[in-house]
Amino acid sequence: MLWIAAFTVPLLAALVLGCMRSRSSLSGVLTAIAALPALALGWTGTGMDGFRIDGLFLGAEFNLDPFRATLLAFTAFLWAVAGWFSGPYLAGDERRQRHDVFFLLSMAGNFGLIIAADVATFYGFFVLMTFASYVLVIHNDTPQARRAARVYIVMAIVGEILLLSALFLAVHEAGTFALSDIREAVAASPFRDAIVALTLAGFGVKAGAVPLYFWLPLAHPVAPTPASAVLSGAMIKAGLIGWVHLLPLGAAPLPGWGTWMIGAGMFAALWAAVVGSAQNHPKTILAYSSISQMGVMTALLGIALADDALWPAAAPVLAFYAAMHGLAKGALFLGTAVHPHGHYAQLLRLGGLGLAALAIAGAPPLAGFAAKYALKDLAEHAPGIWETLLPLFIGLSSFATAFLLTRFLWAVATESPPGENSTPPALSTGIPWTVAVAAAAAGPFLLNLKHGVAAAFPPLTAGSLFAALAPITLALAIAALLMHRIAARPHKPLVPPGDFIVLIERFLAQLHLAIRYGGRVNPHYEWLNIVQLSDRIIAFETTKAWVDRVEARLETWIWVGFFFILFSIGFLGLLFL
């Protein structure tokens, strides 16, 4: 049964690899094979009846529509290729066994949340993916990896709290756990705006939405490259799926929220491209590119949220755009770890990276061209002033994307080559990467033929070609003039990765010093991150004494029972408001 195999095969594979006494040379093959049932389900799932398991969660239900089938198919393919790539990539890594186990657990969570048809199952797999991927971020155990993992887990927990609040309210209003009934219930709920706000913020952490994207530029450079590929190409779409499930798309027009999403999405698309262009590390640049592209998808979702009649037309375009971005971004990330020897081989590598980059930028006749052409058609129905401005912003985002990815290609071409002993054989990683590049070029069109997720391929007229090629050509010309100046600057990036998180951490550090030393600031004191700040606060003698007193009282069962009853009354009161 493909429904069960889609998530149980990765779980069983994780169990098998976790029980092995030593690292196996077949672990890469096993992680790739574990994704094949989900790939088969994504290809054929819309023609199958749904499935229910009464003993899982609160009665787990699974089904697929063309939108989620498309996402499952490209997601499973990307996990399979990344797992295949991880075999030679991590061949000499002492932490490989731990990586493979949590790679497979994250895979199972990602597949499960896509096919889930009820709230409890969806949330259970969402949590599994979120917390298992923490180990992928901290894998290298460097100071940078530990900092990125701490920022990721703090933001993930905040997102989980917001998301859980939205789910509680949505289930209460719907009176059922079925995700198919949530949209209509949210649309008719007196708490509609609260649910929409909590949903946008809760899933926005995973989707890398502004201003909740800080973990992405920190996590991608430190995570192993196969993990970065699925984090940016596949797992980031979990936030998109959550928005589609909980927002009242097609059930009620919300022009206010739709206008806000369009504005926030286009701001993210342009802001991330600007900040990403100031980076030096190729994977950091790609992280900002993902934030930018998710901004475009956020704007597309905003168009459908503003006018409920547009959702049937917007859903296929959104699925096609997500598939295009996921496959191309996976190919770009994997390409950063392919290091062939020889001038000709390097040119082939840059050619493959350039092909995937052109797909995202929207160059014809690649998938990005078709996706952005369909997006411009929908933009003509945007609310208010966005009807005029959005087509202009889409063209500007194509320019920004082309410039950003040119900066990426320049960073890859000019980076110092790693030592021969520090990289796997080029052929062993080059084969799965070549498959990923081919999928980036052809995969979205194959999915379109199978599931009908987008309109027919746009006509190659002079007008459409000029509209697509003009921003890209202009970006390449400006990049050619500026890249030498950018390369001549010091190696330190113009903007620190994570941008505003650095300011937030420094503010909290100064606040800590003001509290701890009465405003006397030690000039030699290094700035802290959020988790270190909380650890230092807990370490205060006064804090310890207060915690000890509270803990002594809580050790008695009567206090535990009192707080449990108080919490239960408050929770029930919230449900019956």
pLDDT digits (tens, 9 = 90+) for 510-548: 776 777 665 554 444 444 444 554 555 555 555 555 555
Is 404 within 8 Å of 292 (Cβ atoms)?
yes
**Are residues 429 and 533 located together in one domain of the fold?**
no
**Are residues 284 and 187 located together in one domain of the fold?**
yes
List the beta bridge partners of residue 62.
Answer: 51, 116
**Are residues 259 and 368 located together in one domain of the fold?**
yes
Dig out the tokens for 321 from the structure.
Answer: 């755009």
| High-pLDDT (> 70) share of the chain, % | 83
pLDDT at 402: 93
Contacts (Cβ under 8 Å, ≥6 apart) of 264: 209, 210, 295, 298, 302
Evaluate if residue 572 carries a pLDDT over 60.
Answer: no
User: 546 vs 418, which has greater pLDDT?
Assistant: 418
Confidence of residue 488 (pLDDT cuts 50, 70, 90): low
Evaluate if residue 458 carries a pLDDT over 80.
Answer: no
For residues 186-196, average pLDDT: 91
- What's the rounded Cα separation, in Å, for the pair 360 and 352? 13
**Cα atoms in the Cβ-side hemisphere of radius 13 Å centred on 484:** 3
Contacts (Cβ under 8 Å, ≥6 apart) of 524: none
The answer to whether position 167 is within a domain reads yes
pLDDT at 574: 43
Confidence of residue 126 (pLDDT cuts 50, 70, 90): very high
**Are residues 562 and 446 located together in one domain of the fold?**
no
The answer to whether position 564 is within a domain reads yes
- What's the rounded Cα separation, in Å, for the pair 174 and 180? 10
pLDDT at 497: 79
Evaluate if residue 353 carries a pLDDT over 50.
Answer: yes
pLDDT at 220: 87
**Are residues 389 and 356 located together in one domain of the fold?**
yes
The answer to whether position 554 is within a domain reads yes
Contacts (Cβ under 8 Å, ≥6 apart) of 28: 83, 84, 85, 86, 87, 88, 89, 90
pLDDT per position as a tens digit, 143-159 = 899 989 988 998 899 89
pLDDT at 454: 58
**Are residues 566 and 420 located together in one domain of the fold?**
no
The answer to whether position 11 is within a domain reads no
- What's the rounded Cα separation, in Å, for the pair 215 and 149? 8
Dig out the tokens for 125 from the structure.
Answer: 């797999």
**Are residues 196 and 231 located together in one domain of the fold?**
yes
**Are residues 409 and 544 located together in one domain of the fold?**
no
The answer to whether position 13 is within a domain reads no
Q: What are phi and psi of 178, to 5 degrees?
A: -70, 125
Closest to 30 measured CA to CA, from 10, 50, 48: 10
**Are residues 550 and 409 located together in one domain of the fold?**
no
The answer to whether position 16 is within a domain reads no
Domain that holds residue 548: 501-575
Which of 457, 488, 519 lies at the terminal end of a domain, its last residue?
488
For residues 114-124, average pLDDT: 93
Confidence of residue 236 (pLDDT cuts 50, 70, 90): very high
Evaluate if residue 479 carries a pLDDT over 70.
Answer: yes
- What's the rounded Cα separation, in Å, for the pair 3 and 41? 7
The answer to whether position 370 is within a domain reads yes
pLDDT at 575: 40
**What is the DSSP-derived secondary structure letter of residue 53?**
E
Question: What is the maximal distance between C-alpha atoms in the chain?
Answer: 78
Q: What angle do CA 243, 247, 250 make, to 5 degrees?
A: 120
- What's the rounded Cα separation, in Å, for the pair 165 and 201? 11
Which of 462, 488, 514 lies at the terminal end of a domain, its last residue?
488
The answer to whether position 47 is within a domain reads no
- What's the rounded Cα separation, in Å, for the pair 261 and 272? 16
pLDDT at 524: 44
For residues 298-312, average pLDDT: 92
Which of 458, 488, 518 lies at the terminal end of a domain, its last residue?
488
**Are residues 169 and 265 located together in one domain of the fold?**
yes
**Are residues 305 and 442 located together in one domain of the fold?**
yes
Q: What rounded mean pLDDT belongs to the chain?
A: 83
For the ranges 215-219, 445-449, 497-501, the one whose mean pLDDT is highest: 215-219
- The number of distinct structural domains making up the chain is 2
Evaluate if residue 57 carries a pLDDT over 90.
Answer: no
Contacts (Cβ under 8 Å, ≥6 apart) of 340: 346, 348, 349, 426, 430
**Are residues 271 and 413 located together in one domain of the fold?**
yes
- With H, G, I as helix, E, B as strand and everything else as coil, classify residue 19: helix
Dig out the tokens for 451 from the structure.
Answer: 């599931």
One-letter amino acid of 104 = L
| High-pLDDT (> 90) share of the chain, % | 42
Evaluate if residue 452 carries a pLDDT over 70.
Answer: no
Is 436 within 8 Å of 330 (Cβ atoms)?
yes
List the beta bridge partners of residue 61.
Answer: 52
pLDDT per position as a tens digit, 401-413 = 999 999 999 888 8
**What is the DSSP-derived secondary structure letter of residue 492?**
S
Q: What angle do CA 256, 259, 265 make, to 5 degrees?
A: 140
For residues 160-181, average pLDDT: 90
- What's the rounded Cα separation, in Å, for the pair 42 and 417? 39
Residue at token pair 């657990």: 105
User: 346 vs 37, which has greater pLDDT?
Assistant: 37
Neighbours of 313 (CB within 10 A): 18
pLDDT per position as a tens digit, 64-80 = 988 999 999 999 999 99
